[in-house]
Amino acid sequence: MAAHAASCIRRSHPEGTLVWAVEERCSAVVDAERLVTQRAVYPRERWKRGAWTPKVWGEQLRFYSGLRRFRFDIGLDLQGHSKTAICLRLSGAKRRLAVRATDGFARRLNPVLSNFEGSTHTVERQLFALRTMGRFQGGSSPIMPALTAERIEVRKQIGSEPYVVIAVGAGQPWKAYPRDQWGDVAEGLRQSGQRVVFIGGPGESAPEVDSSIDLVDRLDLALTMAVLAESDLVLAADTGAGHLAAAYGNRVVSIFGPTDPAVFRPYTERGIVLKEGEETRLVSPDLVLRAAHTLLNSDGATISH
């Protein structure tokens, strides 16, 4: 979702210096050819393993302070956690702003955007914060990596026929859609003539469905993005796969539980959000299938949420 604000910066100032501090495992999402001048990649997982040790603290401080060499005019914290607040504070930016602050420590380090309450979508909040910092009038459609080589590799693995992606997991267990219900959805898609490709991460597994393609925990992030970008439709819980599909302009069905879709849904008009209470399991497979077929039959038309 942060790619919208970054893309607005790039289009508003094509010759400007734009640096994105991003953790290692997510760095493939950030386009280094057309969007950013540089990705400042930090090893968050390694830092977490050594948390509170002098060695790790020293490495973090050197990394954050090293950003001062860019002599930033503006710095934005689009996440609002302590780790990103420290990064922004030490970056040396002449003007700083955090879109939000999730804890008291983060609130003390940088100015925080005010006058935003309730169900404002994250992307809109970030764009508003950006535009309080200056004239940023460029378009905000996300500039994403082209993935030319990865798309070719995906088509070698999957074939040239159309397919639907089901992302079986989620970043948090309480956001995930039950595996057996994904199986019912996949079976319904198969019976209607759709090819189904399952994706997911470590510790996740695909339901057993005839003729489906199981790529769960078999792809790196760039290849996963290519699978999503090349698909006809993506089905996902409240997780990154839906946001990536939307960023590539793809159709997406999103299943939400306790979180607020008005704030966190994939930012697209080619999507349908399903929510039936505070648990994802309350969204029936039949409802998911109806939404999937609505989008598959839409011929690219805009779908309202």
Is 70 exceeded by the pLDDT of residue 302? no
What pLDDT band is residue 114 in, cutting at 50, 70 and 90? confident
Q: What is the pLDDT of residues 228-246, one digit of tens each?
A: 999 999 999 999 999 999 9
* Cβ(158)–Cβ(224) below 8 Å: no
- Give the pLDDT confidence score for residue 255 in this predicted structure: 98
Query: Can you state the percent helix, strand and coil of the chain, rounding each to 5?
Result: 40, 15, 45
Across 24-46, average pLDDT: 95
Burial-class residue 129 by CB neighbours within 10 Å (0-12, 13-18, 19+).
buried
- Give the pLDDT confidence score for residue 122 in this predicted structure: 95
Residue with tokens 């905000």: 140
Residue type present at position 111? P
Q: Give residues with Cβ within 8 angstroms of 240, minimum separation 6.
A: 171
Is 70 exceeded by the pLDDT of residue 157? yes
User: Which helix (H) or strand (E) covers residue 44, if one does?
Assistant: helix 44-49
* Cβ(216)–Cβ(223) below 8 Å: no
Length in residues, the chain: 305
Q: What is the pLDDT of residues 174-213, one digit of tens each?
A: 999 999 999 999 999 999 999 999 999 999 999 999 999 9
Cα dihedral sign for 227, 230, 236, 240? positive
Q: What is the pLDDT of residues 3-34, one digit of tens each?
A: 999 999 999 999 999 999 999 999 999 999 99
How far apart CA 22 and CA 29 sit, in angstroms, is 9
Pick the closest to residue 244 from 259, 261, 231 (CA basis).
231
Is 90 exceeded by the pLDDT of residue 63? yes
Burial-class residue 204 by CB neighbours within 10 Å (0-12, 13-18, 19+).
middle
Is 70 exceeded by the pLDDT of residue 301? no
Mean pLDDT score across all residues of the chain? 94
- From first CA to last CA, the distance across the chain in angstroms is 18
- Give the pLDDT confidence score for residue 19 in this predicted structure: 98
Pick the closest to residue 64 from 26, 37, 92 (CA basis).
92
* Cβ(104)–Cβ(130) below 8 Å: no
Is 60 exceeded by the pLDDT of residue 99? yes
- Give the pLDDT confidence score for residue 119 in this predicted structure: 84
Q: What is the pLDDT of residues 236-288, one digit of tens each?
A: 999 999 999 999 999 999 999 999 999 999 999 999 999 999 999 999 999 99
Residue 13 vs residues 129, 134, 139, 193, 279: alpha-carbon distances, Å:
17, 11, 11, 47, 43
- Give the pLDDT confidence score for residue 1 in this predicted structure: 95
Whole-model pTM: value is 0.93
- Give the pLDDT confidence score for residue 305 in this predicted structure: 46
Is 90 exceeded by the pLDDT of residue 299? no
Is 80 exceeded by the pLDDT of residue 53? yes
- Give the pLDDT confidence score for residue 51 in this predicted structure: 81
Q: Is 201 helix (H, G, I), strand (E, B) or coil?
A: coil
Please count the CA atoms within 13 angstroms of the CA of 230 that sit on its side-chain side: 26
